[in-house]
Structures are given as structure tokens and as C-alpha cells.
Structure 1
Amino acid sequence: MVDTKKKSRSATREALVRAASQVVINKGVEALTLDAVAQQAGVSKGGLLYHFPNKDALIGGMVEQLIQDFEAVLQTEFDQDDAPGTPGQWVRAYIRATLRFSKQSLALIARLSSIATNSPNVLEIAKVYDQQWRQRLETSGIDPTKAIIIQLASDGLWFSQVFQFGTLDEPRLTQVVETLLAMTRTNQ
């Protein structure tokens, strides 16, 4: 039997995180207040505080949601790989997932990055996942050093999209991605 109360709490938490994300995307990080999020979500401030006792907890929830969204894209890319079961499958999924992340998520990340350095909790959440991803990359069946180089290049492409700095035109981006994908298929 499914615990409907627990499911309802989870849905409410997700709705609150999505509302907070909309506040940040639409009005900026400086507009992120508990009152603004409660209003955006259509709940009382007390209802918000029940799920998130303070602003830091809410920001942590936003980061967790971004990571879960990325994990979902990553899993989809892994499941749809053109060479399933071969070395480098997870690395190929990582490359493609970093490029498929939504524009809205990228905008949210860009805005949240301005407060991440002042929020050790946020950085810790991200570090835990980064370590997990690094472990999966290094054990994907290709040379671990090559896997890390590919991760760093993919992350660089991703950060250029997040901050709209040093972005590549479509033909060059396609060439870079194809080169990275090819690197996952050779073990030289």
C-alpha cells in the first residue's frame, strides 16, 4: 500500500522547490525570500516552513532538485546509448546529458552560483554527487584519465552554456561533442 500522506508531502516539497526556482529565474536571487516563495506556490508561509525551516534548507532543496533532474536526463541518455553494454557507455551518457540540460535549469544554476560560495551546505550536496559521477566515469571501462579529461571538457562546455561565456557556434559544438564521444570508443 502506498503511503498517500508521504507522497503528498513529497509532491508539496517539489512544488515549493519549483516555486522557489521560478522566483529566482524570474526575479533573481535577491528576490528569494520565504514570503515570495510561499506566494508563488500559493501556500502560507507556515506551510512552507513546515517543509523548509529556513532559506538555506530551501536553497539546498533547489540544488537537490537540479541534481535529480540531471540524474534523470543522465539515466535516459544511458538507456538510449547507441552502443549499450560497451566500455564508455556511462561517459557517453554524461557527455550527452550535460548538453541536454534545460535552458531553465541552466538559468537557475547561473543565478544560484552567486550564493553557492556562501552556502557550505549547497557545495557539500554538489560535491557528493560529483564524487559519485567521477567514480562512475573512472569505472566505465575506458582509461580513467581519459574519462576525467572528457568529464572536464563536458563540464567546460556546460559552464560556458550556464554563464553564456565562450559558447561555441552549432557546427563547432557538434564537432567537439563528436570528438568527445569518439574518445569513449577507443582505448588508446
Structure 2
Amino acid sequence: MAANNKSKSRSTTRELLLRSASQVVIEKGVEALTLDAVAQQAGVSKGGLLYHFPSKDALMQGMVEQLIQDFEMTLEAEYDQDDTPGTSGQWVRAYIRASLRISQKTLALIARLSSIAANSPQIFESAHTYQQQWEKRIESDGLDPIQATLILLVSDGLWLSEIFQIGTLEEPRRTQVVEALFTMTRAATK
């Protein structure tokens, strides 16, 4: 029982550190992300932070992994709540809905973290792993894989345009595009 409590405590501390790092990045930018700033924001010692994240790169990689895991959880919940379970396009529809649920705070964090992609590509390695898994899901979702890929790219484009405030769709056009994507998931079977 004591080992289980230690594990929960470590997990809780790790989550606190990731939330604190995210808060620093959102409020002050990536350039303000230091181990000292995160430790102070979290109210832990620098040694406590280093126990979980031995470097700034490890901390940023943890932030990226947390973003992806949060998206995965939303994606799985949306998959389970599909209005036509067991039909072609169920996973692609879940992906669209999960993308629409990305919060403004998360969008801000993604925007700030994306600024380091060119200089620290290793931080985003886990994103490549998930991308490969998602491509496999596309292949087995019952839709034409090219059509499904196009749908996901448009879905990604919607939230990316919001991040960078370039080409952001106004209502009602945005809703019409989303509705068209859902329609395409029901009409694009293999």
C-alpha cells in the first residue's frame, strides 16, 4: 500500500510540474521557461523537479506528451460517444470532435511550444509516434484512406488557423465546414 501511495504522489507531483511549466509558458513565453521558474511556480524544490525531469528538454518533452495524451483521452471519449457506433468513419468523426474541443489555453500552449520545433525537434518525437498510430487508425476506419486523410488535414487546419490567427473561418462558414467534414465521414466508405 505504501508503494502505491508513493506512486500516486510521484504522479501527482509530475502532473503539478507539467501544469506549472505550461502556466509559465502560457503567461511568459517559452523563453521564460527555466527549471527555477517551474519549481517556483509549482512550489517544489529544484531537486524535486530534477527528480522528475532531469533537464529542460525533458520537461518540454513531458509537456508535449501530456498535450498528446490529453488529446488521446478526449479522442477515445469521443469515439465511445459516436452517434453511429460501429460504422465507417467512427474514428475520423471522433478526431474531428476532439479537435473541436481543444481549449484556447491549450491552443496558446501549442502555439508557444511550436516556436521551439526547429531548434529542438527531439522534443516532438512522441508526436510522430502518435501520428503513426493515427495513420493506422485511418487505414482501418472503413473510409477511403485518402479521403479520411483529407478530412483530418482540414480538421487540423481549423485549429491551426486559430493558433496562428491566419485564415480563421468566421461563423457560419466554420460550422458549415465542420458539418461538411462529418457528412464526408458518412459518405466516403472504401
| TM-score normalised according to structure 2 size | 0.95
**RMSD, aligned α-carbons:** 1.2
Distance in 1 (CA, whole Å) between partners of 2:83 and 2:118 is 38
1:89 equivalent in structure 2 = 90
2:153 equivalent in structure 1 = 152
Amino acid corresponding to residue 161 of structure 1 in structure 2 = E
Q: Deviations over 1:133-178 (max 9, x none)?
A: 1211221011111111111111111211121211111211110001
Distance in 2 (CA, whole Å) between partners of 1:187 and 1:177 is 15
Distance in 1 (CA, whole Å) between partners of 2:152 and 2:79 is 15
Q: Deviations over 1:19-71 (max 9, x none)?
A: 00000001111100000000000001111001100000000000011001111
Q: Is contact 1:138-1:148 (8 Å) kept?
A: no
Distance in 2 (CA, whole Å) between partners of 1:76 and 1:117 is 32
Please say which of residues 129-138 and 51-60 is displaced more in the overlay. Answer: 129-138
1:58 equivalent in structure 2 = 59
1:166 equivalent in structure 2 = 167
Within-5 A mapping of 1:98-177: 98-177=99-178
Distance in 2 (CA, whole Å) between partners of 1:9 and 1:116 is 28
2:12 equivalent in structure 1 = 11
Name the SS for the 1:86 alignment partner. coil
Distance in 1 (CA, whole Å) between partners of 2:18 and 2:85 is 34
Distance in 2 (CA, whole Å) between partners of 1:168 and 1:176 is 9
Name the SS for the 1:115 alignment partner. coil
Distance in 1 (CA, whole Å) between partners of 2:77 and 2:162 is 21
Q: Deviations over 1:85-111 (max 9, x none)?
A: 111000000011111111111000000
Runs of 5+ in structure 2 lacking a partner?
A: none
Q: Deviations over 1:115-134 (max 9, x none)?
A: 12211222211111111112
Name the SS for the 2:186 alignment partner. coil
Within-5 A mapping of 1:64-83: 64-83=65-84
Instruction: After the TM superposition, list the runs of 4 or more consecutive aligned residues in structure 1 that deviate by more than 3 angstroms.
Output: none
Runs of 5+ in structure 1 lacking a partner?
A: none
Q: Is contact 1:73-1:101 (8 Å) kept?
A: no
Distance in 2 (CA, whole Å) between partners of 1:8 and 1:137 is 37
Please say which of residues 29-38 and 130-139 is displaced more in the overlay. Answer: 130-139
Please say which of residues 52-61 and 133-142 is displaced more in the overlay. Answer: 133-142
| TM-score normalised according to structure 1 size | 0.96
Amino acid corresponding to residue 47 of structure 1 in structure 2 = G
Q: Is contact 1:138-1:145 (8 Å) kept?
A: no
1:37 equivalent in structure 2 = 38
Amino acid corresponding to residue 62 of structure 1 in structure 2 = M
Q: Is contact 2:111-2:164 (8 Å) kept?
A: yes
Identity %: 70
